[in-house]
Amino acid sequence: MIAYEEALKIVLEKTKPLGNEKVFIHQALNRILAEDIHADRDNPPADNSGMDGFAVRHEDIIGASEDNPAALKIIGESKAGDLPPKLEKGAAIPIYTGALIPEGADTIIQKELTKVEGSIVYILKELKKGANIREKGGDYKAGDLLIPKGKRLRPAEIGVLSSVNKATVYVKQIPRVGIITTGDEILDIGENITKESQIRTSNTYSLYTQVLETGAIPTIIGFAKDNPEDIKEKLKWAKNCDVLLTTGGVSVGEYDLVKDFVSKELNVSIHFWKVALKPGKPVAFGTWGEDGEKIFFGIPGNPVASMVVYEILVKPAIKKMMGYQNPENKIFTGILTEDFKRKSADRLEFIRAYVEYKEDNFYVKPFTKQASNMLTSMLNANALVLVDIDIHQIEAGEKVRFIFFDREI
């Protein structure tokens, strides 16, 4: 049995990022950029107005004030996208935000500081020369590196991609994640219950949507009964996946079945089985494929253990494959609102909790029902609190470390 930290280290060492692919930029949201993005031209591409108002020659408005306005003749217009007329002495050209600065103009007076009467505009305040002009290349110059490879693409990055004329972009590939649910007693949705002992799956679809939330491609390989033929067949169907998750069949009594078959059928090398972790102790991890580039997790069948193991071991691995530079869960600190006690303290425990942010702090309410078969205990939880080995008790008011498992915190 190894420590969780050691297990996570092995997982992240053995897991390699996938290759690159080209996608349309709207599909690139939350993908990891695989090429450097450079500017195709200066931005702004030319000097332009930062305001709606009037383009003037600074020499014509020196000393202008409300009591002593400068009177200028209105000529022409400069709208965004148009080529403006030339500005003569003693004149002003109406101009809109983003429009080109007319030849001869050197200052923009915003509309609010002017008064129009017929074909005359009164300038009510002298602004300094160059006011309200946005300079060509002021944001960036052609050739500048705008987004370095390795960045996750958010709406701001997608906007920049379109502004430099990228319709498609190289990003890291995302893994296909196969899910095999094992167990004679497990039924899919819609199947008839014929024995009291049968259980309808929850893990298949919580894992499926956990994979979706991570941004990878879930594939339900199916439900395997606890017999060699069925397991063999389902493993065969998993061959084109990058990640294989099995749920169930990894506790003391059953583990050998899954372990033997993944080793035999898919040539998986198991790197660890059993982690000093609660819930999720009997988790197995291995690599397979031609160069060990594919990964395998044998996930315990308990619904809570399944969700927790996904969050703390599988998700970091999948994010590593997707090219994330920091695939680990972020750890926050909060204040425990109720005492927490446990009898056995030989494992790192992830306690379900509800975290609320108020008065500048995270407040952490631990749940009292912690049995790992109680999926309902996950319903109101939005975080997992880390309770270290040898810690039997944490009192209300003490600081605790936690990770979020809800995308909306």
Q: Which of residues 243-272 bind a second copy (CB under 8 A)?
A: 251-254
Applying the rule CB under 8 A, the residues between 301 and 330 that interact with a second copy are: 301-303, 307, 330
229 binds a second copy (CB under 8 A): no
329, 330, 325: which is closest to 32 by C-alpha? 325
Side chain identity at 176, as an amino acid letter? R
Number of residues that bind a second copy (CB under 8 A): 97
CB 364 within 8 A of CB 402: yes
353 binds a second copy (CB under 8 A): no
Residue 331 CB burial class (10 angstroms; 0-12, 13-18, ≥19) = exposed
With respect to a second copy, which residue has the nearer C-beta, 15 or 132?
132
Side chain identity at 141, as an amino acid letter? K
Q: Of the candidates 8, 11, 25, 299, which one interacts with a second copy according to CB under 8 A?
A: 25
Residue 328 CB burial class (10 angstroms; 0-12, 13-18, ≥19) = middle
With respect to a second copy, which residue has the nearer C-beta, 207 or 266?
207
Residues 6+ apart with CB under 8 A from 253: none
367 binds a second copy (CB under 8 A): no
| Rg, C-alpha atoms of the chain | 31
Helix, strand, coil share (%) of the chain residues, nearest 5:
20, 35, 45
Measured CA to CA, the distance from residue 37 to residue 255 in angstroms comes to 48
CB 257 within 8 A of CB 248: no
376 binds a second copy (CB under 8 A): yes
Q: Of the candidates 20, 198, 263, 370, which one interacts with a second copy according to CB under 8 A?
A: 198
280 binds a second copy (CB under 8 A): no
Residue 254 CB burial class (10 angstroms; 0-12, 13-18, ≥19) = middle
190 binds a second copy (CB under 8 A): yes
Q: Of the candidates 35, 213, 230, 293, which one interacts with a second copy according to CB under 8 A?
A: 213
Choose the binding region for a second copy from 8-16, 76-84, 232-240, 269-277 (rule: CB under 8 A).
76-84
230 binds a second copy (CB under 8 A): no
Backbone angles phi, psi at 161, to 5 degrees: -55, -45
With respect to a second copy, which residue has the nearer C-beta, 152 or 234?
152
With respect to a second copy, which residue has the nearer C-beta, 392 or 399?
399
Choose the binding region for a second copy from 7-15, 61-69, 207-215, 273-281 (rule: CB under 8 A).
207-215
Applying the rule CB under 8 A, the residues between 88 and 147 that interact with a second copy are: 94, 96-100, 111, 134, 138-140, 146-147
Q: Of the candidates 163, 263, 337, 370, which one interacts with a second copy according to CB under 8 A?
A: 163
181 binds a second copy (CB under 8 A): no
CB atoms within 10 A of CB 282: 23
Residue linked to tokens 């498992």: 405
Minimum Å distance from CB 209 to a second copy?
Answer: 4
The two three-digit tokens of residue 28, written as one number: 């690139």
Which helix (H) or strand (E) segment is 303 a member of? helix 303-309
Q: Of the candidates 103, 130, 141, 162, which one interacts with a second copy according to CB under 8 A?
A: 162
Choose the binding region for a second copy from 4-12, 74-82, 121-129, 231-239 (rule: CB under 8 A).
74-82
Q: Of the candidates 20, 202, 263, 337, which one interacts with a second copy according to CB under 8 A?
A: 202
Phi-psi region of 260 (alpha: psi -120 to 50; beta: other; left: phi over 0): alpha
273 binds a second copy (CB under 8 A): no
Measured CA to CA, the distance from residue 332 to residue 313 in angstroms comes to 18
With respect to a second copy, which residue has the nearer C-beta, 52 or 293?
52
